[in-house]
A and B are shown apart, each in its own frame.
Chain A
Amino acid sequence: MVLTIVEHDDGELDDVSLQALALARDVAEQTGESLDAVAFGPGADAVAEAAGAHGVETLHTVEDDALADYAPEAYGRAVVQCAEELGTEAVIAPGTDRGAETLSHAAAKLDEPMAAEVTDVEVGEAYELTRQRWGGTLIEHSKLTADTNLLTVAANEVSPSETGGDAAAVEPFAPDVDDGDLRVQLTDIEQSDVEGVPLGEARVVVSGGRGTDGDFSELEALVERVPNAALGSSRAAVNEGWRPHDDQIGQTGAKIAPEIYIPAGISGAVQHMVGCKGAENILAINTDPEAAIIQKADYAVIADLHEVAPAIAEELEARGHAE
């Protein structure tokens, strides 16, 4: 059996979990095993229908009161017990903070290896894996040899796939956790008041790098002229203290997927580009025709961003595109 950890928001399966289920189902089919899932917390049984539609036969639900709030080590312990009781071939987790954290605890407790950020599995004598290194700027082919194969699935790399199956059978699972496992537990959730369009959801992202020389006013003005637009930046601009880290796009920043991405004064380092590989179109503004970003863009303007950005804003206004 292949066990997948799925995350849900009050009974609604999240996207990354659906992606994990797609990869897990592939592994299950290759090994001739069934696909099961485990879900935690109140409302876990409500995911039975969606899980079934993605190929899950049995859904193990952990609705223990003590585990109502996320607790990384206790969740890891529960996964270990569930896997041992069911005799699993593999445990697959979504590529989320919780997925990696829970499975790392399980891996350490089982004394098994764990492969993170996996995008493909070919089951031979061992698991032949494709996984991401460097946030996706490099691909690694490796072999996993273990009694229980533990993997997390890279986020947004595998497409969910429906089988149209019936709702999964629900089987409550009661793990045996002690106080030690509950030393760390979610204590609170704070809402932040996000202003404007979140970077991850914007249809247009305009961003600035070291080439702005610290003056983002024209780029800000341009963003204000365009609906559903957000302002981003490179790490260099964040390091200079010109922008908050929340604006950073790339390997150690935000991942974006706009209709069009407009990097201005950004050279196109690989660690920056992995953050915008979801962009449909890239329009670069750079003074240097040799900059790597020009190669990586679909459209380019070879000129000073401090002149081009205001000109674009003016042209938008002239054509009546006022925000």
Chain B
Amino acid sequence: MEILTAIKRVPETGAKVSLTDDKRDIDTTSLGFTFSPHEECAVEESVQLVEEHGGNVTVLTLGPEDATEQLRSSIAMGADDGILLDGGDEEWGPVGTASAIAEAVEGSDTGYDLLLFGNESADAANHQVGVRVAEQLGLPCVTGIKDLEVADGTATAKREIPGGSEVYEIDLPAVITVKEGLNEPRYPSMRAKMQARKASVDQQSPEPRAEGLELVELEVPETDDSPAEILGESSEAAEDVVDVLEELEVV
């Protein structure tokens, strides 16, 4: 089975987000980078599927050259190869991203059986790159999947709804977008991380496309940062806690 998994490099923000002076980006001077939990599950799933059925996992990202770091993290988790679509430092929109990914697939000698995406990217949350890639390649697609099984060229994919899940059966090759909870991603071993540093990454330079959606500026939503009422500094605060619960009439 040949699987392609698409991931996007994003900053790892903590308790507070600050913006650059032009308000068009997150200030990342003191931040590390990662990729979305949804995509982490996509990488884990692809590695598990190949462990079960044989084959290869290729991870792909479109982004700055530094995004090789995220490809290597995925290779440390068990992916075989990496492709960097060098998009420079500016963030690409979903139309250009999808078309670049679809073209990379069309231009590849590998006939992928499965293309895995996150349901939405952690930062932009456009909710569409996977579907656009599927449409461009003429492949069937299902999104938001939290349970996946593949047998005899068919995927059984489940999407959570209140009180249960929807079941979809989809013939491969196909595009599937997934959500965190699909599996428990592994922590790569030190050795795997060291080896991943040496893995070769294929690099391509796609052409951007016009996006109809244009960023003007970002804004950090206001939050109520008035100090909390400190009820106590030991378990004796339990009395005050129960007072609060009684006042709210929840006990």
Q: Does A142 lie at the interface of the complex (its beta carbon under 8 Å from any beta carbon of B)?
A: yes
**B214 is contacted by which of A138, A143, A200, A280 (Cβ under 8 Å)?**
A143
User: Quick check: B131 and A104 within 8 Å, CB to CB?
Assistant: yes
Whole-angstrom distance between the Cβ of B190 and the nearest chain A Cβ: 18
- The residue in chain A whose Cβ has the minimal distance to the Cβ of B118 is A252
One of A18-26, A161-169, A304-312 contacting the partner = A304-312
CB-CB under 8 A from A312, the residues of chain B are 238, 241-242
Residue contact A116 to B131, C-beta cutoff 8 Å: no
Q: Are B231 and A301 in contact (CB under 8 A)?
A: yes
Q: Give the segment of A27-35, A58-66, A105-113 that binds chain B.
A: A105-113
B-contact bits for A112-153, CB 8 A (1 contact / 0 none): 111111000000000011001111111111111110000010
B163 A300 Cβ-Cβ under 8 A: no
Cross-chain contact of B143 among A100, A248, A268, A297 (Cβ < 8 A): A100
At the interface, yes or no: B123 with Cβ under 8 Å from chain A?
Answer: yes
Q: Decide if B151 is an interface residue (CB 8 Å cutoff).
A: no
Chain B's nearest CB lies how many Å from the CB of A214?
15
A246–B248 alpha-carbon span in the complex (Å): 27
Within 8 A of A (CB), among B208-251: 211-221, 223-225, 227-239, 241-242, 244-246, 248, 250-251
Q: Contacts A116-B127, A189-B165, A308-B235 hold; do A300 and B228 have CB atoms under 8 A apart?
A: yes
A260 lies within 8 A of B15 (CB)? no
Closest-CB distance, B133 to chain A (whole angstroms): 9
Is residue B144 contacting chain A, with contact meaning CB distance below 8 A? yes
B23 → A minimal CB distance (Å) = 9
A101 to B232, CA, bound (A): 48
The answer, among A72, A114, A281, A294, for a CB contact under 8 Å with B142, is A72
Please tell me if A226 contacts chain B, counting CB pairs below 8 Å: yes
Asked whether, in the complex, the Cβ of B15 is within 8 Å of the Cβ of A269, the reply is: yes
Q: Contacts of B167 on A, CB cut-off 8 Å?
A: 186-190
Interface residue? A8 (CB, 8 A): no
Q: Once the chains are docked, how many angstroms separate the CA of A188 from the CA of B162?
A: 15
Residues of A within 8 Å of B171, CB to CB, are: 183
Please report the number of residue pairs spanning A and B whose Cβ atoms sit closer than 8 angstroms.
260
Q: How far is the CA of A57 from the CA of B165 in the complex (A)?
A: 34
**Is B216 within 8 A of A301, CB to CB?**
no
Q: Please give the number of chain A residues whose Cβ is less than 8 angstroms from any Cβ of chain B in the complex.
A: 98
- A226 to B235 Cα, complex, angstroms: 18
On whether A302 and B126 interact (CB within 8 A), knowing A138-B219, A189-B165, the answer reads no
Q: How far is the CA of A70 from the CA of B142 in the complex (A)?
A: 11
Whether the Cβ atoms of A283 and B127 lie closer than 8 Å is no
Residue of B with least CB distance to A95: B127
- Shortest distance in angstroms between B169's beta carbon and chain A's nearest beta carbon? 5
Name A184's contact: one of B141, B212, B248 (CB within 8 Å). Answer: B141
Contact across chains for B180 and A253 when beta carbons are under 8 A apart: yes
B198 CB to nearest A CB, Å = 27
The answer on a CB contact under 8 Å between A142 and B215 is yes
Tell me whether A204 and B250 are in contact (CB under 8 A).
yes
By the criterion CB–CB under 8 Å, are A319 and B242 in contact? yes
Q: Is the CB of A315 within 8 A of B238?
A: yes
Q: Is the CB of B217 within 8 A of A141?
A: yes
Residue of A nearest to B15 (CB): A292
Q: When the two chains form their complex, are residues B241 and A301 in contact, meaning their CB atoms are under 8 A apart?
A: yes
**Interface positions of B from 35 to 83, Cβ below 8 Å from A:** 36-38
Contact B235–A303 (Cβ < 8 Å): yes
Chain B contacts of A269 at CB under 8 A?
A: 13-15
B2 at the interface (CB under 8 A from A): no
- A158 close to chain B: CB less than 8 A: no
Q: For the complex, give the distance between the alpha carbons of A194 and B164 in Å.
A: 9
- CB-CB under 8 A for A187 and B213, given A259-B248, A311-B236: no
Minimal beta-carbon separation of B27 from chain A (angstroms) = 12
Q: List the B side residues contacting A260 at CB < 8 Å.
A: 244-245, 248, 250
Shortest Cβ distance from B182 into A: residue: A245
In the bound complex, how far is the Cα of B248 from the Cα of A229, in angstroms?
13
A302 neighbours in B (Cβ, 8 Å): 230, 232-233
- The CA-CA distance from A309 to B40 in the complex, in Å, is 33
Please judge, given known A-B contacts A203-B250, A301-B232, whether A108 and B132 are in contact too, CB under 8 Å. Answer: yes
Q: Is B9 part of the binding interface, using a Cβ–Cβ cutoff of 8 Å?
A: no
Where the two chains meet, the residues of B that have a C-beta atom closer than 8 Å to any C-beta of A are: 13-17, 26, 36-38, 93-95, 98, 119-120, 122-128, 131-132, 135-136, 140-144, 158-159, 161-171, 179-181, 184, 211-221, 223-225, 227-239, 241-242, 244-246, 248, 250-251
Add 5 more A-B contacts to A100-B120, A260-B248, A308-B237 (CB < 8 A): A141-B216, A187-B167, A245-B181, A299-B229, A307-B234
A–B complex contacts, Cβ < 8 Å, 11 sampled: A72-B141, A73-B140, A189-B165, A190-B164, A229-B250, A245-B180, A259-B248, A296-B223, A300-B231, A308-B237, A315-B241
The 5 closest A-B pairs by CB, nearest first: A113-B212, A292-B15, A108-B135, A245-B181, A311-B238
